[in-house]
């Protein structure tokens, strides 16, 4: 008898909680939407240039805001890091830049780091946890290897350029001094160390051409 009573009481409690959550859900959704919208607008006014239609979700990290530009209808997911390092951390004295074109989608956890230049075309799709870098902590010389990595100056071997309509799979790495052509597909987990021609599929470590699409 007591067991049946407890089961009925637990079911009643769960039903009451479900009803309360159902009633509160629209208010939660409204608050969540408002927070996301305000966060996105706050980020937009604190970077070099951002189109009014781009969407920036909460919990991204920005370094060098004044060197970052984001194009029309581009979406940036949570956990993304956009880092444009100035001369204080580098031996490179030009102004760094990260320029992201229109209609791009950048997945969670992506990390773009520039002391030189990272330029991304239009309609580029990024999976999650992708690294794009135009720099490294020092080089392989003995001079740098005798210094703790975190204390080494950042150096750049060249800019990164990504064309239009490119698809980059999850956890790929795009290394310095690389140009990726229009319509290219970069397979997941690839490490791209050389230029990628237009309209081809590359994959592997280091990435090689798998298929050329004519």
Q: Are strands 117-120 and 97-100 parallel, antiparallel or unpaired?
A: parallel
**Closest by CA position to 102, among listed 127, 85, 120:** 120
Given pLDDT bands bounded at 50, 70 and 90, which one contains residue 150? confident
Q: Which residue has the higher pLDDT, 5 or 207?
A: 207
Q: Model pTM?
A: 0.81
Query: What are the chain's domains?
Result: 46-212 (2.160.10.10)
What pLDDT is recorded for position 108? 96
Selecting among 37, 51, 93, 137, the annotated active-site residue is 137
Rounded Cα distance, 40 and 108, in Å:
15
| Over residues 82-86, mean pLDDT | 90
Q: Which position has the token pair 């790929």? A: 172
Annotated catalytic residue 51: no
């Amino acid at each position: 008898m007591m067991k049946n009573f407890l089961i009925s009481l637990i079911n009643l409690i769960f039903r009451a909680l479900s009803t309360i959550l159902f009633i509160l859900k629209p208010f939660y959704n409204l608050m969540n939407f408002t927070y996301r919208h305000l966060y996105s607008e706050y980020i937009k006014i604190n970077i070099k240039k951002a189109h009014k239609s781009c969407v920036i979700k909460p919990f991204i990290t920005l370094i060098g805001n004044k060197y970052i530009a984001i194009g029309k209808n581009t979406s940036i997911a949570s956990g993304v890091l956009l880092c444009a390092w100035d001369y204080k951390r580098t031996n490179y004295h030009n102004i760094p830049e990260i320029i992201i074109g229109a209609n791009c989608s950048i997945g969670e956890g992506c990390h773009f780091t520039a002391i030189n230049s990272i330029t991304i075309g239009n309609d580029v799709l990024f999976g999650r946890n992708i690294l794009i870098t135009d720099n490294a902590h020092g080089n392989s010389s003995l001079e740098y290897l005798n210094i703790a990595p975190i204390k080494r100056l950042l150096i750049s071997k060249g800019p990164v350029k990504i064309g239009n309509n490119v698809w980059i799979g999850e956890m790929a790495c795009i290394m310095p001094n690389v140009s990726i052509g229009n319509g290219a597909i970069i397979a997941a987990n690839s490490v791209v160390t050389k230029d990628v021609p237009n309209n081809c599929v590359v994959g592997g470590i280091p990435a090689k051409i798998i298929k050329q699409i004519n």
